[in-house]
């Protein structure tokens, strides 16, 4: 009896342990399934985000390639027109040469005719005949000299035009650059529209903190999964864009964190600006440039003028002026320095009143540039000289 009872108790315990193990297995199975589901969702989300970014990159690349193709086609058209113009001018020179040869032959013929006429004249003494001959020769010589002078002047002007075009062509070949047009707005993509509420914050605290810290307008409208940053100051706009992207990535969005991130990005931006200025000075082979001017040069990377990046324009002008100075046996280093600094005033036009040429001249004078450079910057626009 006791043996049977003990056996039954063992069976009950075994059955209970089995049930507990089975329940524990089911719970563990559910946990693993949930983890797999979460992992699958995360991988899918990351893949979709990566795909979206790649598509955007491809779209931007296609636009840049299309713009480059358009620029190449336009340059080919210009070269074709120049070749036709050169061929036309060459034909004109050949005609001129033939005309001069004809005039020379005509003059020789007239001189011979005059000699024959003089020989037939018997009523004149030697002195009178000589005087008449010299007067005729002088008149013809003056007329031919005027024609020859005009022809020489035309050839000289044409040669000067051709030389100028060759210098400009050489300058342009050494200064091939891509022009990029910036606008007054930047767009920050959002992972979803729910992030707009977090950016705005309770009673608009977050968006106000971001606008105050960066100095740009933050526009949250019906544009799907995007926030627009608006400001004429591209540096401020870039600081706002980087700061907002970091805040979105970090996930902590509140006034204190916003101020912390913006201040850090401002410091990084100042370093980037200074490094860009130093890189530009090094690329152009210039030396002894005041650190504040170097900083202003770097700042112009984030400034546009007439649809073109201001720093890129200044570098192009510097290269072109250096090439032209070399062709004309002038001071290449001085020419490149003037070309780089000619629009330096645009770096502070949003802070200082007045024409950028005058502002730039005052700046370089303040930081020790020589009179030649100061005068060149002040007078590079006639209306502002």
pLDDT tens digits, one per residue of 184-242: 778 888 888 888 888 888 888 988 999 999 999 988 888 788 888 888 788 888 899 99
Alpha helices for 121-184 (secondary structure H): 126-173
Secondary structure of residue 262 in the 3-state scheme: helix
Q: Which two tokens stand for residue 254?
A: 């509140």
The pLDDT assigned to 78 comes to 80
Q: Rounded to whole angstroms, how far apart are CA atoms 160 and 241?
A: 51
Question: Rounded to the nearest 10 degrees, how much is the dihedral formed by the CA atoms of 103, 106, 108, 109?
Answer: 180
pLDDT at 271 exceeding the cut of 50: yes
The pLDDT assigned to 268 comes to 92
pLDDT class of 158 with cuts at 50, 70, 90: low
360 in Cβ contact with 203 (< 8 Å) = no
Secondary structure of residue 125 in the 3-state scheme: coil
pTM of whole model > 0.75? no
Among 11-20, 132-141, 235-244, top mean pLDDT goes to 235-244
Q: Which two tokens stand for residue 22?
A: 């089975």
Q: Which residues contact 20 (CB under 8 A, 6 or more apart)?
A: none
**Interstrand relation of 217-219 and 304-305 (parallel, antiparallel or unpaired):** unpaired
Name the helix (H) or strand (E) containing 333: helix 332-341
Q: Rounded to whole angstroms, how far apart are CA atoms 185 and 69?
A: 26
Write the pLDDT tens digit of every residue in 63-89: 888 888 887 788 778 878 888 888 888
pLDDT at 384 exceeding the cut of 60: no
Question: Rounded to the nearest 10 degrees, how much is the dihedral formed by the CA atoms of 62, 66, 68, 71?
Answer: -170
Residue 347 Cα to chain centre, angstroms: 15
231 in Cβ contact with 240 (< 8 Å) = yes
Q: Which two tokens stand for residue 285?
A: 């082979």
HSE-up of residue 301 (Cα within 13 Å, Cβ side): 16
The pLDDT assigned to 177 comes to 44
Q: Rounded to whole angstroms, how far apart are CA atoms 109 and 201?
A: 100
Q: Which residues contact 224 (CB under 8 A, 6 or more apart)?
A: 193
């Amino acid at each position: 009896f006791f043996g049977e009872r003990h056996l039954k108790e063992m069976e009950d315990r075994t059955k209970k342990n089995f049930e507990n193990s089975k329940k524990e297995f089911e719970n563990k199975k559910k946990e693993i399934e949930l983890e797999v589901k979460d992992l699958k969702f995360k991988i899918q989300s990351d893949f979709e985000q990566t795909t979206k970014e790649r598509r955007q990159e491809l779209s931007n690349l296609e636009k840049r390639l299309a713009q480059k193709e358009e620029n190449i086609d336009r340059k080919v058209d210009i070269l074709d027109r120049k070749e036709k113009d050169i061929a036309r001018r060459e034909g004109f020179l050949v005609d001129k040469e033939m005309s001069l040869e004809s005039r020379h032959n005509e003059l020789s013929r007239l001189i011979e005719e005059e000699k024959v006429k003089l020989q037939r004249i018997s009523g004149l003494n030697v002195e009178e005949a000589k005087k008449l001959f010299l007067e005729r020769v002088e008149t013809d010589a003056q007329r031919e000299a005027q024609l020859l002078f005009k022809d020489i002047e035309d050839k000289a002007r044409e040669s000067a035009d051709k030389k100028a075009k060759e210098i400009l062509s050489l300058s342009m070949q050494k200064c091939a650059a891509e022009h990029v047009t910036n606008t007054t707005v930047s767009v920050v993509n959002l992972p979803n529209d729910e992030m707009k509420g977090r950016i705005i914050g309770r009673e608009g605290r977050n968006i106000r903190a971001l606008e105050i810290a960066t100095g740009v307008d933050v526009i949250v409208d019906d544009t799907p999964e995007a926030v627009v940053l608006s400001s004429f100051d591209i540096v401020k706009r870039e600081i706002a864009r980087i700061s907002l992207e970091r805040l979105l990535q970090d996930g902590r969005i509140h006034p204190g964190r916003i101020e912390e991130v913006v201040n850090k990005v401002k410091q990084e931006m100042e370093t980037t600006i200074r490094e860009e200025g130093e890189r530009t000075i090094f690329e152009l082979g210039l030396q002894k440039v005041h650190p504040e001017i170097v900083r202003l040069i770097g700042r112009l990377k984030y400034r546009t003028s007439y649809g073109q990046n201001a720093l890129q324009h200044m570098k192009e002008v510097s290269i072109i002026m250096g090439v032209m100075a070399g062709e004309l046996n002038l001071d290449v280093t001085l020419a490149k320095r003037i070309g780089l600094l000619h629009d330096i005033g645009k770096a502070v036009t949003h802070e200082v009143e007045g024409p950028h040429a005058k502002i730039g001249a005052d700046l370089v004078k303040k930081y020790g540039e020589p009179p030649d450079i100061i005068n060149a910057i002040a007078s590079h626009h006639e209306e502002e000289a």
